[in-house]
Each structure stands twice: as structure tokens, then as C-alpha cells.
Amino acid sequence: MYKYQIIYEDIKNKILNKIYKKGDQIPCEEELCKTYNVSRVTVNNALTKLKKKNYISRRIGSGSYVSYNDDNREKFVSFVMLTNHRENNLVIAGINSILKDHAFKLVSSISNDDSLNEKKIFDKLFNSNISGIICYPFADTKIEHWIHRIHKNIPIVFLDRYPDNFPCSSVQSNNHSGMYEITNYVIERGHKDIAYLTLPLTSLVTMKERFNGFCSCLTAHKLIFQNGYLSILPQQSRSYTEEDILPSIYNLMTLPKPPSVIICANDTLAHTCIIAAQTLGLRVPEDISITGFDDIYQSSHSTPKLTTMQQPFYQMGQTAAKLLCDSMLSGDETISRIYLKTHLIERESVKDLTENGEN
């Protein structure tokens, strides 16, 4: 970080924390040079940025004065999301239903499933006048080393996933109970040979929670997770395609005893899994049943329509906005972890093996 930026951040934080109040004169340039051990040019660069951001006014022959007025400024909340998928429109609607009652305006940024883009977005937010952030992060393991910078000054609430070992509030679906429920659903329909397709279990806390829910249900039914039935896709920085998943489906379906159902860790994997199965000449659900998790828009329009667990996207947005507003308005930094109930959506992608005594 440039020296002038360090001075800018320090003075800005003193203004935000009301060490320098509106109308106060800040130290003169000569004094700032001595305090920070920098040149007059560096100090001038910092003061110029403070003036540009409306933190101070500069009076010729008099000095610099705090002009920042927290009460009268337009208040913005940023929603940082992975993509512009339809489900995020539900999240945004939920957020806005709360923000409008508190005179906050919502601005959105999209990282396009890219951790570097996400970091650039947060770097900009760190230097902005944003009041708070709701973040649907790319991952929960790559942001701890920089997210603390912004959290010092700006309240933040995470959606769906959160950084491990980082003190922050989050709102997410109850992934464990949701995956338990859909696993129980396929077992009740006669499926005992159950495969599981997932992203790397170390990549997202949601993946670990869902897999643990799956395993808990198998244990409750005294079912053994067959050797070879777990398919973990390799880590990659882009979305998974049919070509990425096809080898996994082929390996599962050419086992001596292939599974009757593949439970997928999310809907995107499930839809790609259906395409891969059909490429191999398999019918869904006649030859192989497939389930998902999320209930994205495509799930009710695919062939066959996907049986899945529905996440309450609108409620997630509402709940996150409530937490954020409470923190912004009260200054309370209480950490909350809120888990919302998911709902089973039964469609066409699971065969009932109990009919006609098939199992």
C-alpha cells in the first residue's frame, strides 16, 4: 500500500470513529509530515483524496476541516454475488424488502465465479463509503487473509457459506438436515445402492455439511456406503461441464453393482449428471435416478424435471438484511449463525423401486 494511502486510511478511520468530528480541524500538513515521516507531497496526496471522498474540506490559508456528515449521507449496502442467476433475484428481493424500511439503497457486484474478481470488488468497497456488505462468496477458504481488512470498518454478513475461523455472521440453509431428508426420501422409495457426487469436500463448508447429512442418513438406516460409490470431482476454478463429469458417471455405472440413484451435492451437478447419463445411453429415472440440492430455475424446466431440495433464497436475503441492519444501526457486533429450513421438491427424476416389488 502506498504511503499516502496509509495516511488516508488512518485519517478516514479517525473521522468514521468520531475521533475527528464534523467541523474539527485536522493537523496541518507540516505536523502530518512529522507524524507519518513522509514528504509534503505524500501528505498532500492523502488530503486530496480525503477531500475528493468528502471527508474533509480544505480552506486556503486556514487548513483542512472535517466535512463528513454521517447522518446526512446517502446510505448504500453492497451485495457481492457469484453470478446473475435467477435465484439471486430472489435474494435481492428479500434484501430490498428490509433495506427500504431503513432508507438504505442496494448496489450489486458480480464476481463471475472468480476469486480474483471477488478480491478486486472488495478492494474497491474498502475504499468506498459503503455502509454494509452482504456477500455470497466464491469460496470459504480463500478469503480469510484479506477479508479482515474490510470487516474492521464495515459490517458484513455472509450467505450460504462463510470463512472458517473468522468471526462473522452468516445465513444459510440447513445443509445437513436438507441432505438427510432427500437421502431418506430415496431410501423410502426402495433405493439401497446410493452413490454421491460432490465438489471437493475441502472447498466449501456447504459441501462438507451436505455430505455429513448424507452419511448420517445412511447410518440411521444401517446402510453401508458401498466402495466406489463416492465420486469427488477434482478442484477447478470454473464451472463443471459434461466432459468433466462424464468419467465419474461412467465409472459409477460400470461398477460390478452400479448404483440405482446418484445424489448430487447441488442442482448444477445434477443437471450436468443427467446430460452425462443420457450421453451414455441411460434413461433418467428408468435406468438411473438423480437428485439435486438448491432448486434453481432449470430444475423445474429440465427433462426430466429434477427432484431436489429447495433453498429459501428470498428468506435468506431478508434474514441477512435484518442482521446487517441491526449491526449497522446499533453498532452491535454480535456474531450470528442462522440456518434456514429447506423443502423437498418432488418431481420426476427418482424412480420408486417399491412399486411392482422391484426392490
Q: Point out the domain boundary residue: 41, 66, 91.
A: 66
Note whether 222 and 210 are same-domain residues.
yes
- Give, for all 359 residues of the chain, the pLDDT tens digit: 688 988 988 898 888 777 888 889 999 999 999 999 999 999 999 999 998 887 898 888 889 999 876 654 557 888 888 777 889 999 999 999 999 888 888 988 888 877 778 878 887 877 777 888 998 887 655 555 455 555 556 788 999 988 776 778 999 999 999 999 999 999 999 999 999 999 988 877 899 999 999 999 999 999 999 999 999 998 765 677 888 899 999 999 999 999 999 999 999 999 999 999 999 999 999 999 999 999 999 999 999 999 999 999 999 999 999 999 988 877 677 889 999 999 999 999 999 999 765 66
For the chain, the domain total comes to 3
Note whether 79 and 142 are same-domain residues.
yes
What CATH number has the domain bearing residue 201?
A: 3.40.50.2300
Note whether 190 and 305 are same-domain residues.
yes
With 0-12 CB in 10 A as exposed, 13-18 as middle and 19+ as buried, what is 246? middle
Maximum separation of any 2 CA atoms in the chain, in Å: 93
Note whether 183 and 156 are same-domain residues.
no
- Give the model's pLDDT for residue 73: 52
- Give the model's pLDDT for residue 74: 58
Tell me: the pLDDT tens digits for 209-220?
A: 999 999 999 999
Note whether 127 and 265 are same-domain residues.
no
Bridge partners, 231 (sequence order): 197
Characterize the bridge pairing of strands 308-310 and 343-345.
antiparallel
Note whether 211 and 284 are same-domain residues.
yes
Note whether 86 and 155 are same-domain residues.
yes
* Residues listed for the chain: 359
Note whether 238 and 323 are same-domain residues.
no
Note whether 27 and 160 are same-domain residues.
no
What CATH number has the domain bearing residue 47?
A: 1.10.10.10
Q: Return contacts of 205-211, CB within 8 angstroms, 24+ apart.
A: 205/140, 205/161, 205/162, 205/164, 206/160, 206/161, 206/172, 206/175, 207/265, 209/175, 209/176, 209/179, 210/175, 210/176, 210/178, 210/179, 210/265, 210/293, 211/179, 211/265
pTM for this prediction: 0.76
The range of the structural domain enclosing residue 51 comes to 3-66
